[in-house]
Amino acid sequence: MVEVEESEQQEEEVETHLSDNNDADNIVVEGSSVVHGGLPLDDSRPPKVESPLEVIQEKVKKQIMKEGQGQKPSKYSTCFLHYKAWAESTLHKFEDTWQEQQPLEMVIGKEKKEMTGLAIGVSSMKSGERALLYVGWELGYGKEGSFSFPNVPPMADIVYEVELIGFDETKEGKARADMTVEERISAADRRKMDGNALFKDEKLDEAMQQYEMAIAYMGDDFMFQLFGKYRDMALAVKNPCHLNMAACMIKLNRLDEAVGHCNLVLAEDENNVKALYRRGKARAELGQTDAAREDFLKARKFAPEDKAIAKELRLIAEQDKAVYKKQKELYKGLFGPRPEPKPQKGNLLVVIWQWFLSLLFRLFKRTKNKDE
């Protein structure tokens, strides 16, 4: 059976199976307040929302798209969020953390000046909540607009689509950047364990939220600085989170996202059996049969005895056989022997007339032969 990676061999491992047949789709469970939604469907413009408009502050208004749960973050809470941002006057999108696959970390009360309105809105949200925020230019990029984002003109009101993934309550407001390497890895590992516990209770959305917060601790800026044992320690936490996210997304039929998380693991470890298996499973369900077969065959090279991989390859072979049979029947109908024309029933009167003429002809011929 394909095993889910664990951070250390010595740690206690408890496996929770994802598939009905208990083959290889499992998550390792190890010993906050958090719900997770998928990617927004249309990112060209802010989505239309029917919920009431709530006034958070004179220059900050909110419409809830998806309810959250639990408490709201207080001052100095370290919040993790995804968001998209548009200039309201032009509807030009200028920032998208979903596309970058990297949540934003924001310490309420210590945010950048141009994110003051965003922080006010986030402080009114619960974990897992998704909302539209309307922020006046005074609490955004101000009179000057943005030099970094040319699509943000002077005095531009901003529309945000925001999802509060979750938050950590810390009195000091200690951000990731102020943590030691060990502290960040440890914090991410705790999130991973929380996610596994939630998954065990079939709370997939909440589990994914914890995994995503763990991944946020292991951001690209952080990973770029690591090497040697510290990089290995970080990957031992980060990669299982991506794999577990993929497993949840396959179960929720969010297949393209599952492929994306597997790709991130394979970028670090191109022969990772679990990533190949899960990407193959997602691709197979997407109808990408050839790509799925390639993933399963590569995974089998590193796990030749794995029954789950063998089963998926058998399913693809059976599918190929069924497709070939249908094609054969189709081509047989197109290029087979031409069927014999069926005699058509003629008009009875015509048949009788033809018979009568034929009889007269034979009598005439017989009489002529006698005369001769």
Same domain for 197 and 242? Answer: yes
Same domain for 199 and 271? Answer: yes
142: in domain:
yes
pLDDT tens digits, residue range 77-121? 888 899 999 999 888 899 998 887 778 888 898 899 999 999 999
pLDDT tens digits, residue range 120-153? 999 999 988 999 999 999 999 999 888 778 778 9
Length of the chain: 372
Interatomic CA distance for residues 23 and 319, integer angstroms = 20
Contact 370, 363 (CB under 8 A): no
pLDDT tens digits, residue range 302-335? 999 999 999 999 999 998 888 777 777 776 656 5
4: in domain:
no
Same domain for 190 and 309? Answer: yes
Same domain for 297 and 199? Answer: yes
Chain-centroid distance of CA 172 in Å reads 35
Which of 116, 147, 168 is the endpoint of a domain? 168
Report the share of the chain in percent with pLDDT over 90: 44
Beta-ladder partners of 131: 64, 162
Residue 63: φ, ψ to 5°: -125, 125
362: in domain:
no
Interatomic CA distance for residues 101 and 267, integer angstroms = 14
253: in domain:
yes
271: in domain:
yes
CATH at 295: 1.25.40.10
**pTM for the complete prediction?**
0.60
Total number of domains constituting the chain: 2
Mean residue pLDDT of the chain comes to 81
Q: Please give the residue range of the domain that contains residue 84.
A: 54-168
Same domain for 303 and 212? Answer: yes
CATH at 60: 3.10.50.40
Which of 168, 193, 221 is the endpoint of a domain? 168
pLDDT tens digits, residue range 243-301? 999 999 999 999 999 999 999 999 999 999 999 999 999 999 999 999 999 999 999 99
354: in domain:
no
Same domain for 160 and 204? Answer: no
